[in-house]
């Protein structure tokens, strides 16, 4: 029987600037894979509170405009120290004016990348899909 875990995270973007003609999304490098800022929900937190806390802890970003109407959950299985884990992660979408992350000890690097490059860089297929859905959502809303 798999152990259940739940996490929350943010797909954060900055608006176009200077010579960049499109949004850029933040990815974090763990040294093994590239992903969005996310982490476990602590007791007493709701999903959005946890996602904001994780964004601040992992990327040093505490100013984010939450884009209303987007919350997407993914799920997957992986083998952890205690055996098989069934993980559910809810992602929110946010805009920030911060253009550099201050990474935590959990990460070795970070980068803001245009959408197409971010889709290529992010490691896992579920993360690629949620990013595609976020981009389509933003495009449909004209954001």
Task: State in words which class domain 3-141 has.
Answer: alpha beta
Q: Where are the domains of the chain?
A: 3-141
Residue 4: count of CB within 10 angstroms of its CB = 10
pTM reported for the whole predicted model: 0.92
The 10s digit of each residue's pLDDT in 8-64 is 999 999 988 666 678 999 999 999 999 999 999 999 999 999 999 999 999 999 999
Q: Are 110 and 103 in contact (CB under 8 A)?
A: yes
| C-alpha atoms less than 13 angstroms from C-alpha of 11 in its C-beta half-sphere | 31
């Amino acid at each position: 029987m798999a152990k259940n875990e739940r996490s929350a995270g943010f797909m954060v973007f900055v608006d176009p600037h200077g010579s960049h003609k499109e949004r850029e999304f933040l990815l974090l490098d763990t040294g093994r894979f590239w992903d969005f800022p996310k982490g476990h929900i602590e007791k007493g937190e709701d999903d959005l509170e946890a996602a904001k806390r994780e964004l601040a802890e992992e990327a040093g970003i505490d100013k984010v405009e939450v884009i209303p109407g987007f919350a997407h959950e993914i799920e997957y299985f992986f083998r952890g120290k205690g055996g098989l884990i069934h993980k559910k992660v809810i992602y929110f979408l946010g805009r920030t004016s911060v253009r550099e992350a201050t990474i935590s000890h959990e990460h070795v690097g970070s980068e803001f990348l245009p959408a197409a490059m971010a889709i290529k860089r992010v490691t896992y297929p579920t993360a690629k899909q949620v990013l595609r859905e976020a981009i389509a959502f933003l495009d449909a809303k004209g954001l």
